[in-house]
Amino acid sequence: MQLHSEKQEDENRQLVRDMVREFAEKNIRPHVMEWDEAQHFPVETFKAMGQLGIMGLLVPETYGGAGLGYQEYVDVIVEIARVCGGVGLSLAAHNSLCTGHILAFGNEEQKRSWLPRLTGAEWIGAWALTEAGTGSDALGMATTAVSDGDCYVVNGTKNWITHGQSGDIVVVMVRTGEKGRSQGVSALVVNKGTPGFVSGKKENKLGMRASETTELIFDNCRVPKANLLGREGEGFKQAMQVLEGGRISIAALALGIAKGAHEAAVRYAKERHQFGQPIANFQGISFKLADMATEIEAAELLTRQAADRKNRGVSVIKQAAMAKYYASEVAVKCATEAVQVFGGYGYTKDFPVEKYYRDAKLCTIGEGTSEIQKLVIAREILK
């Protein structure tokens, strides 16, 4: 019976992978460079992914989601990121950060009100923690929310916010108490169009250019207290828990980019001839491809381990940090080696690997830098 259910699960996962791969090849690949060059965030493609059921992958069917687990979630992010890291990043941010935070900490009324619109991509979700002066030091945030009757009055600016311009709803971490204290942070949901809430500067980025990144500005923005997630003072703790799942997302994103770069390098090495034979025949090239393949497999095993633990509801602090740290560094290395395999052509925008090279780097920075992951891992093993 157990074997039958595992076989069925594998078949279902393969169906999901095939569906997403076909969608990515048909609807994303033809536009990859066009979106990248223009820094265009393809909202309509995300609406189409909502119809496909992948904008609420981890959300129960009760709230309009797909009700899938973390292994399927990894599968989907990998398949999208193999084609375009920017689209993969936005898909991950919508699912694991905004939607994931509301799913984990919203009350029943909040979940029923907001989740179906997010899972169907009627709404695009954003999540705001970082500020100009507080990257890794999130507790130093300056954005405040002051109680005033049945509202909070929010003032401040958030930076590096995915979907800051196109997002319809944002989960924003604000200071409701003393600066520097984790109990002084709360999480509020703010809808687009709320007076006093606007998007600011759009960042002109090295990579992940199809994923929109902007400032969010709050100027005496009144947010109903009914939009508080959980209790006042729980926002930082919530954010750290959300980021644990987010690290699995970035590991999957990095894995997809690494696989895309490796596949392109293998194809090219077989097609490109020098000295009367394919360059894949030369040990200098074949060893690069072997190293890339080995490190990708190791990164996938770490990512799958973290996803398995997340599915089982056991601690993933160490495993998610390891997966995110290792997979992101592997993505950078694989993309670098792919450019080398392509030689001069790899340095041009006519071939795909220069984009993997640019996209990969963010994976070592976003949702906790590689250095922060090492701090987390060290803290866990030294407990």
In a 13 Å sphere around the CA of 65, the CA atoms on its Cβ side amount to 24
Contact 196, 210 (CB under 8 A): no
Tokens of 109: 């009324």
The span from the CA of 78 to the CA of 83, in Å, is 9
With H, G, I as helix, E, B as strand and everything else as coil, classify residue 190: strand
With H, G, I as helix, E, B as strand and everything else as coil, classify residue 1: coil
With H, G, I as helix, E, B as strand and everything else as coil, classify residue 128: strand
Is 109 assigned a catalytic role?
Answer: no
Q: What contacts 381, CB < 8 A, 6 or more positions away? A: 318
Task: Please give the single-letter amino acid code of residue 201.
Answer: K
Nearest one of 300, 289, 305, 296 to 331, comparing CA atoms? 296
Contact 83, 28 (CB under 8 A): yes
Task: Please give the single-letter amino acid code of residue 334.
Answer: C
Contact 29, 18 (CB under 8 A): no
How would you class 70 by CB atoms within 10 Å of its CB: exposed for 0-12, middle for 13-18, buried for 19 or more? buried
Q: Which of these is catalytic: 79, 131, 234, 367? A: 367
Instruction: Report, as residue numbers or ranges, the catalytic residues.
Output: 367
